[in-house]
Amino acid sequence: MFVRYLMPAAALCIAFTAPLPAQTLPGEITDALGRGDFATARAALATIAQEDGNALAQFHYGTLLLQGQGGPLAQAQGIDMLEKSAAQDHAAAALLLARVYLTGNIAGTSRNPERAAVLLLAAAEQGNGEAQYYLGLLHQNGSGVEKNLEQAFTLFKSAAENGDHAAKYELSKAYANGRGTDVDSVKALHWLRAAADSGLGDAQFFLANALESGQGAPLDRIEALGWYRRAAENGIPIAQRILGGKYLTGNDTTEPDPNEALRWLTLAAQAGDPGAMHNLAVAYGGGHNIARDDAKALKWYAAGSEAGLARSTYALAQYHELGRGLPADIKQAALLYRTALEQGDKRAALRLGYLTGQGALDAYMPPHFGVDWTAAAAREGDENAKNWLRKQADEGLRAAEVVFALLLLDDPAQAADAAPYLERAAEAGEVTAQFELGMLYMKGLGVTLDYVQAHAWLNIAATSGHAKAAETREILGNLMTPDQISAAQTTARVFFETASQRRTEAVAGSRSDP
């Protein structure tokens, strides 16, 4: 059954406070459950649950069967018993069944949020805060019910007022983000504090963050430190990392403490926090009054790199390049620098450019791989990189011709040196070179001013898909005579005809090869 709506908010408030039917269990069963003697309780409950129709007995018996307590695991029978209890409006049974259907894959049951919503509604109407919370999540996400942020807010509010800690946290987020209600920073902070006070680690972390930043709460770094510690002690990895970082460097609220820094960073790193892995590696790399341990630094840089953290990969590459804690390995360093670049660390391009310019990578990669890297290093003033690019361009590496020419064009005084490289690359079909060559002819920069040649090369580049070339060609055309435009178009047409003929001859030649 698909639940499309809940009762209006006023009706909900009345329904949520409705009392549960009065039911009891024999004293010996209650005692057995209390002392954890599930075998005795299960045996005694079997008869009552089956014959007496006692919803409370059915709930406890179904729970024992479902969890395999006091006897063999009997999940299908346990679900059946919980269904009977829920049918008699037992809120706890309905809640447990709903969680089964939200999870799925228990005793052959499939995930069924629609059925879970029906069960949660039955429990929510009896004032069960946890059921209200879960039903609020379904409405918030549109799972099993229609998405309804206002209804989700009403449910979270009722659940929070009924003492559900997770609902307090959701309610704080609703007030903070205006989700289903008006934005109210005062109420958002109130419920965030309530959730934090209840021991919810995520709430403790975000309260600490709000207090430290002064966003959503009065600035109070000392109180923030206390909440970071509580969140860290509650097992929140990011709080452990932040706390470890504070002890590592020290600040106006925290004295440096290497032992505490290592303790918290290690816990966060072991929990899978990539930032903590990196910070721990930095700590072991020597500094912050922590003894240098390259083996441990390598271990945690590798872990951070594996987690996709670019700065860890870059640092790991440096260790391989320099031979820190292991034999120097330029090839492995280069591979790691490439990975760091792919992960987003732009420093890696420079380092690869420096190594390429020094010839350190010649044995490990074809020259065209290093063109962009060496260009980046050359722009930073590295002469080795610039000389390497010049050599590759002089030897006819097309990508190097273009990049080296553009590097020269950074200084307009070198335009005449750049023009021959652009000419060769443009003739070979490099679109960027075609556009740049057209611009040189249009400006008379490094070549003789020639609108016909400029228009022709811009036309060729535009035809090959260069958007800016098409725009510039149109502007240039307004300055030209019809005869000049005709001549330029003829030059472009001849270029494409010649290029097509060369391709045809190349294909024919390849087919005739033995």
Per-residue pLDDT tens over the stretch 107-151: 888 999 999 999 999 999 999 999 999 999 999 999 999 999 999
User: What parts of the chain have a pLDDT lower than 70?
Assistant: 1-22, 502-514
Give me the pLDDT at residue 52, please. Answer: 72
Structural domains of the chain, count: 1
Listed in sequence order, the residues at least 6 apart from 453 whose beta carbon sits closer than 8 Å to its beta carbon are 438, 441, 447, 488, 491
Is 434 within the bounds of a domain? yes
Give me the pLDDT at residue 289, please. Answer: 87
* Containing structural domain, residue 501: 418-507
Is 479 within the bounds of a domain? yes
Whole-number Å distance between alpha carbons of 433 and 458: 10
The distance of Cα 271 from the centroid of its chain, to the nearest Å, equals 17
Q: What are residue 145's DSSP bridge partners?
A: 3
Question: End-to-end distance of the chain based on CA atoms, in angstroms?
Answer: 72
Task: Convert the pLDDT of each residue in 46-102 to its tens digit.
Answer: 999 987 779 999 999 999 999 999 999 999 999 999 999 999 999 999 999 999 999
Whole-number Å distance between alpha carbons of 56 and 67: 17
Is 494 within the bounds of a domain? yes
How many CA atoms lie less than 13 Å away from 403 in the CB half-sphere? 26
Is 327 within the bounds of a domain? no
Is 98 within the bounds of a domain? no
**480 and 458 Cβ atoms separated by less than 8 Å:** no
Is 51 within the bounds of a domain? no
Whole-number Å distance between alpha carbons of 156 and 407: 61
Whole-number Å distance between alpha carbons of 117 and 429: 63
Give me the pLDDT at residue 287, please. Answer: 79
Give me the pLDDT at residue 150, please. Answer: 97
Give me the pLDDT at residue 283, please. Answer: 96
Give me the pLDDT at residue 176, please. Answer: 96
Is 224 within the bounds of a domain? no
Is 481 within the bounds of a domain? yes
Task: Convert the pLDDT of each residue in 146-198 to its tens digit.
Answer: 999 999 999 999 999 999 999 999 999 999 999 999 999 999 999 999 999 99
How many CA atoms lie less than 13 Å away from 9 in the CB half-sphere? 13
Give me the pLDDT at residue 5, please. Answer: 31
